[in-house]
Amino acid sequence: MAVTAGAVVPLDEKRRRRHDLLAELREVDHWRRLVAARLDLAVAAVTAIDEPLVRGDGGAGAGAAMLPAGLREILGLPACDQALTEASVLLRLRAALRDLDEYAQALRASTDVATMELADLLEADRSVERAARRAARSPRPAEPDRASAPAGEGGTPRLSLVAAPPNART
C-alpha cells in the first residue's frame, strides 16, 4: 500500500516528540536523584550523625566484615563545626528538588499525551492498512448468468440458493 509523505510526517513527528520527552524526563530524573542524594548528605552534615561504632563482635560472629573507617570523610561530609554552611544549602536543595519534581510531573503528563496521540495515529494507520488488505483480498461479486437461470415470476431469472447434488442433471 502506498503511503503519502503527508501521512508519514505526523507519525514520525509524534514518535520524535515522544522520544525527546522521554529523554528529557530521564535527564530530569537523574538530576532529581542527584539533588535528593545531596540533600541527604546536607541533612547528615547538619545533624552531625556519628559514624557507626563497632561494639564487640556486633552479633556478627568471627570473620565478620569490618565497617569502613572514616565514612564522613569518604562521603565528603564536613566536620560538625562546619554544619552552618550545610544548613544554608538545605533550603536551596529542597527548593530545587521541589522544582525538579514539578517539572518531572509536567513532563510525565506531556509524555502521556504524546503516547496517546502516537497510539491513536498508529491505530488509525493500522485500520487503513487492514481495510486496504481486506479490499484487495475480497473478490468482486460475480454477476449471475441470467440466461441459464430458470424464469421466475414475471419472466425474471430465478436464482437458486440451494446447491444441486453433484450427480444431478441440469
Amino acid (1-letter code) at residue 124 = A
Q: Give Cβ neighbours of residue 147 (< 8 Å, ≥ 6 apart).
A: 157
What is the rounded distance in angstroms from the CA atom of residue 98 to the CA atom of residue 96?
Answer: 5
pLDDT at position 163: 54
Dihedral sign, Cα of residue 131, residue 135, residue 138, residue 144: positive
pLDDT tens by residue, 2-40? 445 444 558 889 999 999 999 999 999 999 999 999 999
| Residue recorded with cell 481486506 | 134
Q: Give Cβ neighbours of residue 7 (< 8 Å, ≥ 6 apart).
A: 125
> pLDDT-derived band of residue 1, with 50, 70 and 90 as boundaries?
very low
pLDDT > 70: what percent of the chain?
A: 66
pLDDT at position 2: 47
> Quick check: 10 and 121 in contact, CB under 8 A?
yes
pLDDT tens by residue, 103-144? 999 999 999 999 999 999 889 888 888 888 888 887 766 665
Of 35-39, 64-68, 83-87, the range with the highest mean pLDDT is 35-39
